[in-house]
Amino acid sequence: MKKLIAANWKMHKTYKEAVDFINDFLKEDSIDFEKKDILIYPPFLYVCEVLRLLEKTPIKVGAQNAYFEKKGAFTGEISPVMIKSCKAEYVLLGHSERRHIFKESDELIRKKVISSLEEGLRVMLCVGEALEERESSLTFKVVESQLKLALAGLKDYANMIEIAYEPVWAIGTGKSASPEDASKVHSFIKDILKDILGSNTRVLYGGSVNPKNAKEFLTQEHIDGLLVGGASLEVKSFLDIINAY
């Protein structure tokens, strides 16, 4: 199974900065695409342009979110149909910032997952516990609940789903779970996924990943890749993470 390294740019970069990043990134030839997949989640405004710039490469592009309705009077929302029309392959759903800042419920996230899968998008579902949940030894319970509420009954779509485990307390804080602890949660997630989806699904780690700790995570048995936030915003930093393993 190839490792997957994904860049989540979040609400960063102007149009010019996004184009400059891609052009500079394309000058590099150090990536071994036989060993790893690369995925970029730019802001919505740039998805079509980033795809155009990368169309002759193996690099995948996805959207950072989607609404569950296909069209309608939902000002400011983006539908899976729109994402698909740009020829994007992935959509990121259930990110901790969507759950905790924008108060997205498990029910809403499930609707988004189903709608996106119906349109043929590959879904990367994010799960993870908050600090108070971790300190109350609820990590496994929270993660299991998030997985089951979002994915139950979706076995037919098993080959279109990937998971990103991102402990909320590690997002953008500079703190990260230890590679060993993360691997244990990943192993647990894979066991749950076999029950729900009946397949061996890729599970990525996300949470203050940087060039210094990337190799430690990627060498863990149950970690199949990384979802990278701030450290993916500079070409050199992102390349160092990609080439760490």
| Cβ atoms of 204 and 163 closer than 8 Å | yes
Listed in sequence order, the residues at least 6 apart from 179 whose beta carbon sits closer than 8 Å to its beta carbon are 213, 216, 217, 219, 220, 223
Choice among 95, 97, 162, 186 that is catalytic: 95
Choice among 97, 129, 162, 166 that is catalytic: 166
Residue 222 among the catalytic residues: no
Residue 100 among the catalytic residues: no
Structure tokens at 25: 């990134």
Helix (H) or strand (E) holding 122: strand 122-127
Structure tokens at 242: 């990609």
Distance between first and last Cα of the chain: 14
Tell me the catalytic residues: 95, 166
